[in-house]
Amino acid sequence: MIISRYIAKRLIAIYIATLLILLIVGITSDIVKNIDKFINCIAKGNIVTALNYYMFKSVFMVYFLAATSYSIGASLCFCSFWKTNEIVSILTAGMSNLRLLRSTLLTGLVSGLCLFALDELCFPYLLPKMWQLENEMKTKEVTFNITSVDSTGSRMDASKYDRVNGLLENITVIFLNENLEKWKKITAKNGRWDDKLSSWMLYNGTIEEYEKGLIKVIKTGDKIIIATNPISSEGFILGEKLFKSDTFYRSNLGVFFGLSLKETRKLSRIYPDANLYKVMIAMKLSNIIIPIALCLPCILIIFKNHVKSYPLAVSIALMMNLLFFSIHLMLINLGRDGIVDPYMSTFITSFICIILCAIYSKLK
């Protein structure tokens, strides 16, 4: 028990250090890539906006870098045991190979569960804020023919969106009631985002109210306020191809990143053919298993080959990550095309990796 705690503490310390290093590299590369936006934001005196944006973005980077960091951390941890000959003392004390891996597997499982909690509880609230901050950092960008859909099924279409100034042209907004029936439609020539009201202000618009699919009331207004979130530069700007196919996997898989299971369940009622709820559960469960599936082959290779070189251990981890995610993304694409079962495609790579590791561990 004492040895297991010792291994877990060493592994967690190296894991956190690796994650922080990768996070710093990721944020630095993102700043270099978007240096024009960053400098423009500082020149306007909005340095707080830039700092807040990267604070929110760092949370998402942690989510995406966690599995890779864990595999590298586990590789360095066991490499350090061979380098200092601690592994000999551990094995001499009567600790089996399975018990030696138990601490690593449990730590990986806890890491996966933390990622699930982060995705489920934090991302739905952090994502809109990050999108808004990202829009504030935009230097110049105009998008044509956009569509924005929220979790209630309400839909906004516009022929043109100026992100910098928050302006829309030729807008159509359709609202659905609890029975998912259209009850209101708003059309307007133009509109803008009002930061003070946290709403869209539409000008020269017409409001149509429906009852059982028939127009009940028609109103016109110079100013119409719509309380909703600002349109993001990614995420809910869906594009025309979404939902035109039979299954969710034939559309853009990344569109629904950041949605909780509760929000996905609501959205699946609106688009029942897309199987959104089942797919989202599969994705979230798969993300729990991935840290374990990634670190196992790295540890076994280092353990069986007595690897004592830190650069070699990192290289093994990076090669396994490249191989794992290449196969994982290929299978997800096959799932989208209907060649492989779309739900199982998120698990197949992890299952194959774990089975191969079980076989390799039995070899002498």
Q: Which residue has the higher pLDDT, 104 or 139?
A: 104
Q: Map tokens 């994502």 to a residue.
A: 127
In a domain? residue 268: no
Q: How high is the pLDDT of residue 222?
A: 60
Say if residue 242's pLDDT is above 90.
no
pTM of the model: 0.69
What pLDDT shows up at residue 252?
34
Query: How crowded is the C-beta side of 156, counted as CA atoms within 13 Å?
Result: 23
Asked if residue 252 is part of any domain, the answer here is no
Q: How confident is the model at residue 235 (pLDDT cuts 50, 70, 90)?
A: very low
> Once rounded to an integer, what is the mean pLDDT over residues 2-15?
85
**Where does a domain end: 195, 212, 232?**
232
Residue 198 and residue 180 share a domain: yes
Q: What is the structure's pLDDT at 56? A: 85
Domain identity same for 7 and 128? yes
Task: Check whether residue 111 and residue 162 sit in a common domain.
Answer: no
- Would you state the pLDDT for residue 268? 67
Residues 159 and 121 in one domain: no
- How much of the chain exceeds pLDDT 90, in percent? 9
193 neighbors 138 (Cβ within 8 angstroms): no
pLDDT band at 236 (very low <50, low <70, confident <90, very high): very low
HEC string for the chain: CHHHHHHHHHHHHHHHHHHHHHHHHHHHHHHHHCHHHHHHHHHCCCHHHHHHHHHHHHHHHHHHHHHHHHHHHHHHHHHHHHHCCHHHHHHHCCCCHHHHHHHHHHHHHHHHHHHHHHHHHHHHHHHHHHHHHHHHHCCCCEEEEEEEECCCCCEEEEEEEECCCCEEEEEEEEEECCCCCEEEEEEEEEEEEECCCCEEEEEEEEEEEEECCEEEEEEEEEEEEECCCCCCCCCCECCCCCCCCCCHHHCCHHHHCCCCHHHHHHHHHHCHHHCHHHHHHHHHHHHHHHHHHHHHHHHHHHHHCCCCCHHHHHHHHHHHHHHHHHHHHHHHHHHHCCCCCCCHHHCHHHHHHHHHHHHHHHCC
Tally of domains in the chain: 2
Same domain, yes or no, for 107 and 37?
Answer: yes
Last residue of a domain, one of 232, 247, 264: 232
- Write the pLDDT tens digit of every residue in 143-200: 667 766 655 566 778 888 776 677 888 888 887 776 767 778 888 888 887 766 666 7
Residue 109 covered by a domain = yes
Strand partners, 186: 173, 207
What is the reported pLDDT for 322? 92
Which pLDDT score, from 0 to 100, does residue 239 have?
29
| Residue pLDDT, tens place only, 252-308 | 333 455 667 777 776 666 656 556 677 778 788 888 888 888 888 888 888 888 888
Q: Do both 210 and 286 map to the same domain?
A: no
The rounded distance, in Å, linking the Cα atoms of 71 and 324 is 11
What is the model's pLDDT at position 16? 93
The yes-or-no verdict on residue 69 having pLDDT over 80 is yes
User: 168: exposed, middle or buried (C-beta count within 10 Å: 0-12, 13-18, 19+)?
Assistant: buried
CA distance 199 to 201: 6
> At 70, is the pLDDT very low, low, confident or very high (cuts 50, 70, 90)?
very high
Residue 262 lies in a domain: no
Residue 218 and residue 192 share a domain: yes
User: Is it the case that residue 326 has pLDDT exceeding 80?
Assistant: yes
- Domain span including residue 199: 142-232
Together in a domain, 94 and 21: yes
Q: Is the pLDDT of residue 48 over 90?
A: no
Q: Looking at per-residue confidence, does 228 or 251 come out higher? A: 228
Between residues 97 and 16, which one has the greater pLDDT? 16
If asked whether residues 78 and 203 sit together in one domain, one would say: no
SS3 per-residue string spanning 259-279: CCHHHHHHHHHHCHHHCHHHH
Spatial CB neighbours of 319, under 8 Å, sequence gap ≥ 6? none
* Same domain (yes/no): 68, 93: yes
The pLDDT tens digits of the residues spanning 330-348 come to 887 787 666 777 778 888 8
Q: Look-up: residue for tokens 């374990």?
A: 292
- Tell me what pLDDT residue 30 has: 86
pLDDT (0 to 100) of residue 19: 93
Residue 343 lies in a domain: yes
Is 265 within the bounds of a domain?
Answer: no
Mean pLDDT, all residues of the chain:
75
Domain end among 215, 232, 249: 232
Query: Is 270 among the domain residues?
Result: no
- Within this chain, do residues 149 and 65 fall inside the same structural domain, yes or no? no
- What is the average pLDDT across 196-209? 75
Answer yes or no: are the C-beta atoms of 168 and 160 closer than 8 Å. yes
